[in-house]
Chain A
Amino acid sequence: MKQGYKQVKRMTPAMRIIHWLNAFSMIGAIITGLYIGHPYYQTLIADGAVDKYVMAWNRYGHFMIAIIFDVTSVVIAYLYFFSRFEKPYKKLIPNGKNVTEFFAVLVNLLTLNRKKGFDSTHSDSFNTVYFTIFHLLLIWMLLTGLQMYVQGLESGLSSIGSWWPWLLHVSTDWTLYVTGGTNMDVRIAHHMSMWFIICWVVFHIYYQVWRTIFWKEADIAIVIGGSKFVKDDTLKSV
């Protein structure tokens, strides 16, 4: 360990597993989702009959990934409030302390790390807000996606019972009205939100790498090893 630095735990193993599950799910969802929106490669006419299920497999993959997202979303929503490690919701309350920290981190980013007036030991308000935007985007994708899904269950029946389409209607029909009223608007919104998420990811990766390089606190290690290193003030004062 670097002299004068201490190790701080930032992510539990469960959090890290969820992070990577989400990251890889997202790549899969984008690859399959783009195909569903506009089939960008052709099934070869010479393919054997047993292979000719390309769109169906893409949809299968997309929906399976959606279920993984469903489950992790529920877990994350729970952890936001009840985590025994760190409760992210505490960083979202717009009280004086959080607002000050939010802008301090933003200033740090905008002044290219010349000003750093906050404690980077713990998860900061700015990142928590940024992560929350992502989770909200993901929930939006889930709801619009399930709305499109239930349109195929127009019989009101499903293999697990009629409660399932009913539940989907009750929980997602509002997305129709919010996006503009038609079945197509939900699709446009779902597709557009993919681009928002991609932009979100690009900045997220950049920002974490940037922190690692300029803060010199090994922030990138958080998501792999679960901890980072900060200057140990207690040692200095001794």
Chain B
Amino acid sequence: MSDKIEAVKKLFTSKSSRVETNKGDTYYQELFAKCEARLNEMRAQTPANRLDFSELLEENGIDRREFMKWASATTAMLMLPPMFTPLVADAAVMMNRAPVIWLELQDCAGNSEALLRADGPKIDEIVLDIISLEYHETLQAAAGFQAEKQLDEAMETFKGKYLLFVEGSIPMGMNGQYGTIGAAGETFHDHLMRCSENAAAVIAVGACATFGGIPAASPNPTGAVGVMNLVKNKPVINIPACPANPANMVGVILHYLLTGQVPELDSLLRPKFAFGYRIHDNCERRAHFDAGEYVEEWGDKGAQNNFCLYKMGCKGPMTFNNCSIVRYNEAVNWPIGVGRGCIGCSEPDFWDKYAYERPMADAKIKAPTGGVEKSVDEFGLGMLTAAGIGIAIHAAASTVAGKRDNSGESHE
């Protein structure tokens, strides 16, 4: 309850979800000077690893021109004016000076996959390659005590400076015993709290780390929760979606490198530059929605003609994310583009409330008591039937009673 009260308080003291795309010349001049100073300062630091960004680009056959195109697109995504493009390019090159510790908790490693890319690395992925990944449970070569030592060293060396990326939810049931890590059997909860203590900021990546995701889906056997439920004294940035888009991860890291600040967030702590858009409003099939042209079943004529997937349960109208703009896998495609609906993976409780592949009116929804699953319409019709039966009984009884009354009446 106190959480709810806090949330409501926050709601009424925060600014509206409006995305301010132009903050005025003075603001940007000031920010530019600040960013430049910050980048110069970083240039003086020794890189945390020996990976060279320019070399990596060359190895992957990406020329300077392509890189600058990417830099200007990323500048636009971060809602900065074009004059910031050289700074963004500089910041990308200096990504190896951003110490990152990556925790993997209760999850499927899908976000690590997204970060690693399975095929043809593009600039976003290369940028993520050269970040100074100090500790990553899945990717590092070290194991056991050696790995733990590495973590301790990284936290000591970069105290107060490292970005803590968290992937996966935190099981709170059974005193957190559902998930432990290391020889000492440290629970995920303790692990997260220890690592977040000296972090500059905590970045929750993916649906699980942000809102609990699939592990937290009903009946949530492990009592899974997201990072923002636990880490209270640090800036927390949520990058939800299943998996989180690497473009948005890069955006957040770049923004941090460049400005030293957390980007503007919405009420769910998601960066507005990425989650300030509703999928529906930038969807390539929106015209079919307005036209009332829907796919009625998989593979029908509508599906063959790219009709709207609303009746197949697309949740684009309720989901805020930029995948209808930036798409996935370096803009190759995205869920609606391949002909299946959005499942709302960047919204809280998406597994229970969004991902049922039919319109909300037809979805079986749990009663507030947690019991019977009925669709809203089934429940409503049941209620209406009950009302009808009650009325019928009352009407019939009244008719009988009314007649008796009449026969008893002597006056008039």
Task: Report if A and B associate in a common complex.
Answer: yes
Residues in chain A within 8 A of chain B (CB atoms): 34, 37-39, 42-43, 45, 52-56, 58, 109, 112-114, 151-152, 154-156, 162, 165-166, 169-170, 173-174, 177, 180-185, 187-188, 191-192, 194-196, 198-199, 202-203, 206, 210, 213-214
Q: How far is the CA of A183 from the CA of B306 in the complex (A)?
A: 26
Are A198 and B380 touching (Cβ within 8 A)? yes
Q: Does B230 sit within 8 A of A, measured CB to CB? A: no
Chain B binding site: helix, strand, loop or mixed by DSSP? helix
A-B contacts, 12 of them at CB < 8 A, read A39-B294, A52-B292, A112-B394, A114-B405, A156-B17, A181-B348, A182-B353, A184-B318, A184-B353, A195-B376, A203-B387, A213-B402
Partner of A42, one of B267, B278, B289, B296: B296
Interface residue tally on B, bucketed by range = 35 or more
Are B398 and A210 touching (Cβ within 8 A)? yes
Partner of A113, one of B17, B291, B296, B402: B402
Are A154 and B292 touching (Cβ within 8 A)? no
Partner of B311, one of A38, A56, A109, A194: A38
Q: Does B174 sit within 8 A of A, measured CB to CB? A: no
- Note all chain B residues with C-beta closer than 8 A to A37: 359-361
Are B347 and A182 touching (Cβ within 8 A)? yes
Q: Does B37 sit within 8 A of A, measured CB to CB? A: no
Return A207 CB to nearest CB of chain B, in Å: 9
Q: How far is the CA of A156 from the CA of B79 in the complex (A)?
A: 15
Q: Does B51 sit within 8 A of A, measured CB to CB? A: no
Q: How far is the CA of A53 from the CA of B7 in the complex (A)?
A: 39
Chain A binding site: helix, strand, loop or mixed by DSSP? helix
Q: How far is the CA of A194 from the CA of B360 in the complex (A)?
A: 14
Are A152 and B383 touching (Cβ within 8 A)? no
Are B11 and A177 touching (Cβ within 8 A)? yes
A152 and B278 in contact (CB under 8 A), knowing A39-B310, A52-B292, A53-B292?
yes
Q: What 1/0 flags go to B395-408 for Cβ under 8 Å of A?
A: 10110011001000
Are A195 and B318 touching (Cβ within 8 A)? no
- Note all chain A residues with C-beta closer than 8 A to B20: 156
12 new A-B contacts, CB < 8 A, other than A151-B278, A156-B18, A183-B318, are: A39-B311, A52-B291, A53-B290, A154-B276, A177-B4, A182-B318, A184-B315, A184-B353, A198-B380, A199-B383, A199-B387, A203-B387
Are B281 and A154 touching (Cβ within 8 A)? yes
